[in-house]
Structures are given as C-alpha cells and as structure tokens.
Amino acid sequence: MFEKILIANRGEIALRVVRACRELGVRTVAVYSTADRDSAVVRLADEAVCIGPPESRLSYLNAPAIVEAARRTGAQAVHPGYGFLSEDADFAEICADNGLVFVGPPPEVMSALGDKSRARVLMGAAGLPLPPGSLETLGTAERARAVAEEIGYPVIIKGAAGGGGRGMAVVWSERDFTEAYERTRIAAQAAFGDDRVYVERYLAQARHVEVQVLCDGYGNGVHLGTRDCSVQRRHQKLVEEGPAPALSGSTLDALAETALRGALSAGYTGAGTFEFLVDEAERFHFIEINCRIQVEHPVTEMITGVDLVHEQLHIAGGVPLRLRQSDVRINGVALECRVNVEDPARNFLPTPGRLTRFAPPSGPFTRVDTHGYPGYQVGPYYDSLLAKVVVWAPERDLALSRMERALHEFDVAGPGVHTTIPFVRRVLDDAAFRKGRYSTALVERLLAPADPPDVSAPHAPSSRTS
Ligand code: MV4
C-alpha cells in the first residue's frame, strides 16, 4: 500500500478520501485553492499545499501545479475524486510520466471509454444491449438524417466527447432534425473541441439505473448492485437510491452481470459505473461509463458494506481484489439526498454565503458526507454540493421515513443561503416516488406549474389550445 497520496480535489469528496486514507494508514496531502484556505480538508490532511487562485482552471484543473505538489511532498499516488481531472486521460498520463500512480483506470482505457461513441461500439461488441442507433459517429446532416429515419423518432443526438448530459439534443420529428444536428455539432465543438456526434433512439420515461463495479489489474472483478438515479434536474442528480426499486430480481441480476462483463472486456480497473436506461418492460440499454468514484457511491457502501475508496486504493496499489462475487450481498435499501446551496424557487440558482447555522442530522443508520461547518463560507467558484444525507434501512418504507426524519433535523442557514432540502423533501413525498415507480420525467413533473384552476366554465374561455 502507498505511504502517502495526494488528493486532487476539494469539498466533501476530498474529506471522504482523507478519511479512507487515515483508516488505511496512508498519509495524505491536500491541495487547495486560496478560496479553500479554511476548508476542513486542509485541517484534516497530514499536509496541505496551496496550488493557486480560486478559478478551477488555475487550481484544481492545474495539472503542473498538482504534479509539482506531489513531487515536493513525496506523494506516490493521486486520487482525483470526481469532476475536475478525474476522467482526464491526459492527466492520468502526466501522472504516470512523473512516476505517480493515478487512482483510476489506465489512461488508454479511460480515453476509450470516455469517448461515448467508442464506448458504445466496444460495449456493443461485448454483447451489451444498446439503444437502437448509429454504430459510428456521423458526418453530414444528410447522412445522419437517413440514420435517424431508420431508427425512428424520437431520437437523441449525443456528442461523443460529452458526458453527464452535456451536448445532447432530443429531436421529436424529422422536421427538426437538421437544425438540431448542426446546433449539437457546433455546441460540441465549442464545449469539447470535438464535433463528433452519434444518434440513438430516444427512450422517453426510462429509468436511469447504474451498476457499480470494481476490477483489479489481474482480471478479477465484482459488481456491487444497482442505483436508481432517475431523479435529476438538468443532469444534476438530486436523490439516488439502491438497489433500484420496483425491478425484478432477475432484471437487477442481469444488469449487474452485464455491466461486469462490459468492464472486464474493456480491461477496466478500479471503481467504475455503468449507466443503463431501463424501460417500462424492464428492457435495459447501455448508455455510458463513468470512470471515477461517483458522488452517490455511499448508497452502494451502505447496501454492501464495502468501502469503495479503500478498494480503489488497494487496486491502485496493485493489491489483488480480495472480494469475491459470492462475498457481495445486497442488504436493505439506502437513499441519498443531495443538499446543494441553491434556491429551488429561483431555478436552482446558487446562493453562496456564510453558514451561520450548520447542524447536520445524525442518529441511527444515518451518514452525512459534508465539508460544511458553522461559519463556513460557501463560495461562488465551485459546484454547490454542500452535503449528502444517506440513510439505510432493511426495507424501503423505513428508509423513506428515516430520510424524512434526517432532513427534518438538518439545520442549515445563513444570510441569503438557500438549499435543495425543501425540494428533495417534495420528491420524497411524491406518490410515484414512494411507490418506487418513477422515471427521469419525475422532476419535470414536480417543477411544472401547478394545474391552473378550471377555466373551462362559461365566461372564462380557456386560452389553452390543447
Ligand atoms: C438517453 C436518454 C434517452 N434515450 N439516451 C442523460 C445523461 C447521460 N448520462 C445520458 N442521458 C440520457 N440518455 C437515450 N437513447 C435519456 C437520458 C437521460 C435524460 C434525458 C433528458 C432529461 C433527463 C435525463 C435524465 C437521465 C437520463
């Protein structure tokens, strides 16, 4: 195992990694921007190095500064957390060139699977079911339109270099295709410097279910069950749960085995997530792979008892996976609610400010991953995730009431500061959510204006035309 590693991230995930390291007897180097001087991770890590000003590009994305901090402190490995450099194959390569172990898959694997179109081709070849669509990126709009015609509408145009929902467009009819296609290509070029796109059948009302896998560098791998992440707004997840509810045991098993087959076929190593869309008939389709530890990993930790960050560090250190598939048992239900410093009433606008009150929940089977503390200054520079409230229970109903209880306890306030707590409480209260029968359409339904009063009576003609 490593003696010392550097954590190239901030916020709650940096703390999460520091905790895993202390438990394993690994010394830690935190890196921080000047905006994060007073952060909890700077205090809790064994050492801390300032790597630049607040702007991410000059600090948490500043590969030379991070590598230099590792060199100066004698760190042997770099844990990238999620976001920032976590899926940057060039950064993983730079680490290797500087004698640093990158905690994640090999750069070639990350580069292949990070290209969503290549991932689609590779996973299709490995026998994973795909949404109907093109097997290559497409050139002219004319040719792409012919492909869309064959697939049948609605279709979704996706940028190959995109991810997490960026650079996509849904097209409902042929009439709108060409314009959407050109627009998506231009947007992809601007956002990723890569205008390659591909087309899939758009699966509306599907559930977004993902599978956690762990693979070592010796051909061993395990799957660790499913998480439902359908509760999203603009591709930001708000509530996650595991195992995915209201699916048959055979579907859950098939999803997990399919993901692991895909991971092993690609030479994947470390912790990874395979995303699928599951339709009403429980047919599932592979969409993409996340080559990192994810925000929602605690859900899986709660239902398996496996510490995923410990496993990441062991795998990166070359230790063969000790866990066998028969050791993995999915036990009970876990829910996670994200607490972002945003105002749901103002289009989820971030509301940075000082936390004059901060008392997160506690109690039985309740875990809160957060970097917040009373007096903490939430800045405007980074994403607004402040805390993840995670609960476990043997049954889903009890997990729901436990989460309601936990959110009721959460005392967080400050001048101008709002959080997503009221909104996630509405999600928990929703009848479809309570039944476990929800899809990616749930959040939109909750955010749609309430039905106007019945105006169809005489003297008040409806202005609605449908
Ligand atoms: C899709 C899809 C439907 N059909 N692909 C969104 C993020 C990225 N990981 C993949 N995503 C989707 N891909 C096909 N062929 C639906 C989503 C999707 C979604 C789309 C619109 C609005 C919200 C969404 C939430 C989750 C997934």
Residue closest by Cα to atom 14 of ligand 1: 202
For residue 236, report the distance from its CA to the centre of ligand 1, in Å: 12
Residue of 250, 277, 246, 207 whose CA lies nearest to 436: 246
Task: Please indicate, yes or no, if residue 229 is contained in any of the structural domains.
Answer: yes
Task: Please indicate, yes or no, if residue 457 is contained in any of the structural domains.
Answer: no
Task: Please indicate, yes or no, if residue 252 is contained in any of the structural domains.
Answer: yes
> Same structural domain for residues 268 and 342?
yes
Looking up tokens 């314009």, which residue turns up?
Answer: 179
> Same structural domain for residues 91 and 163?
no
Which residues of the chain have a pLDDT value below 70?
Answer: 451-466
Is it true that the peptide bond before 422 is cis, omega within 30 degrees of 0? Answer: no
Position 383 scores a pLDDT of: 94
End-to-end Cα spacing for the chain: 64
> Same structural domain for residues 49 and 155?
no
CATH code for the domain in which residue 408 is found: 3.30.470.20
Task: Please indicate, yes or no, if residue 455 is contained in any of the structural domains.
Answer: no
Percent of the chain with pLDDT strictly greater than 70:
96
Cβ 209 under 6 angstroms from ligand 1: no
**381 is in which domain, residue-wise?**
207-447
Distance, in Å, from the CA atom of 293 to the CA atom of 369, rounded to the nearest integer, reads 14
Contact 49, 33 (CB under 8 A): no
Position 450 scores a pLDDT of: 77
Distance, in Å, from the CA atom of 409 to the CA atom of 425, rounded to the nearest integer, reads 12
Distances (CA, A) of 311 to 8, 80, 103: 18, 15, 10
CATH code for the domain in which residue 177 is found: 3.30.1490.20
Residue closest by Cα to atom 21 of ligand 1: 440
Which residues, listed in sequence order, are joined to residue 333 by a DSSP beta bridge? 393
> Same structural domain for residues 194 and 211?
no
> Same structural domain for residues 298 and 395?
yes
| Number of domain units in the chain | 3
Task: Please indicate, yes or no, if residue 212 is contained in any of the structural domains.
Answer: yes
Residue of 426, 398, 425 whose CA lies nearest to 410: 425
> Same structural domain for residues 141 and 221?
no
> Same structural domain for residues 71 and 168?
no
Task: Please indicate, yes or no, if residue 119 is contained in any of the structural domains.
Answer: no
> Same structural domain for residues 260 and 275?
yes
Number of CB atoms found within 10 A of residue 21's CB:
24
> Same structural domain for residues 62 and 153?
no
Residue closest by Cα to atom 25 of ligand 1: 440
For residue 2, report the distance from its CA to the centre of ligand 1, in Å: 38
**End of a domain among 162, 184, 201?**
201
Amino acid in the structure at residue 173: S
Task: Please indicate, yes or no, if residue 175 is contained in any of the structural domains.
Answer: yes
Give the residue, out of 170, 277, 294, with the most ligand 1 atoms within 8 A of its beta carbon, to mutate for a pocket test. 277
Looking up tokens 């060409």, which residue turns up?
Answer: 178
| Ligand 1 atom closest to residue 285's alpha carbon, by position in its atom list | 15
Position 192 scores a pLDDT of: 87
Position 462 scores a pLDDT of: 41
Position 463 scores a pLDDT of: 39
Contact 203, 158 (CB under 8 A): no
> Same structural domain for residues 271 and 364?
yes
Catalytic site residues? 292
Distance, in Å, from the CA atom of 337 to the CA atom of 4, rounded to the nearest integer, reads 32
> Same structural domain for residues 213 and 257?
yes
For residue 439, report the distance from its CA to the centre of ligand 1, in Å: 11
**End of a domain among 162, 186, 201?**
201
Position 455 scores a pLDDT of: 57
**End of a domain among 170, 201, 232?**
201
Number of CB atoms found within 10 A of residue 55's CB:
13
Task: Please indicate, yes or no, if residue 303 is contained in any of the structural domains.
Answer: yes
> Same structural domain for residues 248 and 327?
yes
Task: Give this prediction's pTM.
Answer: 0.95
